[in-house]
Amino acid sequence: MRSATKQDDLTTRARIRDAALDLFPEQGFNRSTVRVIAEKAGVSPGLVLHHFGSKEGLREACDRYVVTRFRELKDDSLQGGMFDPGFMSRSIGESRVLMRYLAWALTTDSPEASTLFDEMVAEAVQVTQRSIELGHVKGSADLESRTAIQLSMQLGLAVLHEHVQRVTGIDLFDEAGLRRAMPILLEIFSGTFEPDLLQSLGETIDRTA
Amino acid sequence: MRSATKQDDLTTRARIRDAALDLFPEQGFNRSTVRVIAEKAGVSPGLVLHHFGSKEGLREACDRYVVTRFRELKDDSLQGGMFDPGFMSRSIGESRVLMRYLAWALTTDSPEASTLFDEMVAEAVQVTQRSIELGHVKGSADLESRTAIQLSMQLGLAVLHEHVQRVTGIDLFDEAGLRRAMPILLEIFSGTFEPDLLQSLGETIDRTA
DNA sequence: GGTTCTGTTGAACGGGCGTTTAGCATACTG
DNA sequence: CAGTATGCTAAACGCCCGTTCAACAGAACC
């Protein structure tokens, strides 16, 4: 088993994995048959199983690869980890396939993807904590939950990116689309409620709590 | 073909549909075999096909049913449609299955679910427009996109609810969990950035625009 | 009361899938 | 150069799935 990084990647094994990386999110797991994957990679069906043991093994290899790449991309973001402003665009720069696969994996029961999700939350909490201390971000009574939910919303956006694109025309997985989305996201996370509504909403919640 | 509403629902046909409504999001489409669905509904496999023509037909019937129920629930929300504060809790009250199914359907290529998504966006835009006029919500240069993205984030939260629950312990699909989430969502949509960071972020975006 | 219609079953069928296996080049190894 | 891994193919296997079909009980209809 080789290291799952981008260096040694002209091997047939890597070509098969890349084909699966494309097909699983696009067609789903079951419609991506071993035969179709093999054809896309330009090899025989038998070779897929020779390299990965089983179709499930191929899926696990894809999960591991994507998760590892994300961790590497994070380590390259010296400043803010996965919340470095450059992180997302660099991930997309390498390939939208990566982000697309992660979004898909989060909707299947992938242990690898779940672990990465947990790591992202933990890291986001740390970064947010630091930002609060620096006076950049507002504090919270339940910072862990708030951060987890905020991150889930952003990842949820990635999961539903096809719907977003259909309705708004914005493709969140390429740079141009991301540039269009950025000010909108900023607007949303800056708060869209007017202060007086905010107050009455707060009172409503206090009453029902 | 009967009306797909809750009235006439003790029929065998409805029991099969309900079984599928449970199984599709829980196990995925392919692992929910006709035999398993039939067993859960307490009927023979043949009857499933007798009633729905094919397994795909059953899926379409489920899609239609859920979408129709959502529209009915919306019509019952006289005040704010799908953004009436009571809408979500009433949907959950009827059955978490409905919301779970919709979240799942949005991640498959379901035309019905996509159409509902589009309707929800359109309605959200209208409601937001009204709220802006009333001075409750801030305006936007691109209201359609902002609303679509904001709605996608909330639905994305539903799609990723299992991850949210694992990390925060909050089950977004029951009332208690929703009560816990409410103030956090309010906090997020009120804005989590401190004003001075906001200004510098705005400048950064202006520069790169 | 005979006939047709409806809801239902259980067995059987055909196909497509993941997987196995045998074989074959090519490239290392001693 | 013999021997043996390695990367790979083609064909076949067997299972499980969606689907079909023949049959049947009971209700409905005339």
Within 7 A of a protein CB, which nucleotides of strand C?
A: 7-12, 16-22
Mutate to test the interface with B, among A119, A190, A198 (most CBs of B within 10 A): A190
pLDDT, tens digit (0-9, with 9 covering 90-100), for A88-144: 556 666 668 999 999 999 999 999 999 999 999 999 999 999 999 998 899 999 999
| Tens digits of residue pLDDT in A146-200 | 999 999 999 999 999 999 999 999 999 988 998 899 999 989 988 888 877 666 6
Residues 6+ apart with CB under 8 A from B110: B59, B63
The Cα of A142 is separated from the nearest Cα of chain B by a number of Å equal to: 8
Contacts for A195 with CB less than 8 Å, ≥ 6 apart: none
pLDDT at residue B151 is higher than 90: yes
What amino acid is encoded at A190 in this protein?
Answer: S
What pLDDT, in 10s, does the model give residues B174-198? 889 988 999 999 899 888 888 776 6
Cβ-defined contacts of B86-94 (< 8 Å, 24+): B88/B178, B89/B175, B89/B178, B92/B173, B92/B174, B92/B175, B92/B178, B93/B175, B94/B6, B94/B69
Q: At which residue do the structure tokens 């029991």 appear?
A: B15
CA of A2 vs chain B CAs: smallest distance (Å): 30
**What is the spatial distance between Cα B73 and Cα A27, in angstroms, rounded to a whole number?**
32
Q: Which of A114, A166, A186 sits opposite B205 (nearest CB)?
A: A186
pLDDT value of position A77: 67
Check A194 against B136: CB less than 8 A apart: yes
Mean pLDDT, rounded, of chain B: 86
Residues of B in contact with A55 (CB under 8 A): none
- CA A180 – CA B3 distance, rounded (Å): 43
Rounded average pLDDT over B110-137: 94
Question: pLDDT of B52-80, one tens digit each?
Answer: 999 999 999 999 999 999 998 887 765 65
Listed in order, strand segments (DSSP E) in A137-187 are: none
What pLDDT was estimated at residue B190? 87
Please indicate whether, in this complex, the C-beta atoms of B188 and A121 are within 8 angstroms of each other: no
Determine the distance from the C-alpha atom of residue A18 to the mean position of all C-alpha atoms in its chain, rounded to a whole number.
17
Q: What pLDDT is stored for residue A6 in this prediction?
A: 41
CB-based contact B124:B149 (threshold 8 Å): no
Query: B44: distance to nearest CA of chain A, Å?
Result: 25
Tell me the per-residue pLDDT of B155-180, one tens digit each, with 9 for 90 and over. 999 999 999 999 999 999 988 998 89
What percent of chain A lies above the pLDDT cut of 90? 65
Whole-angstrom CA distances from B148 to B77, B82, B100, B179, B209 are 21, 14, 20, 24, 22
pTM comes to 0.88
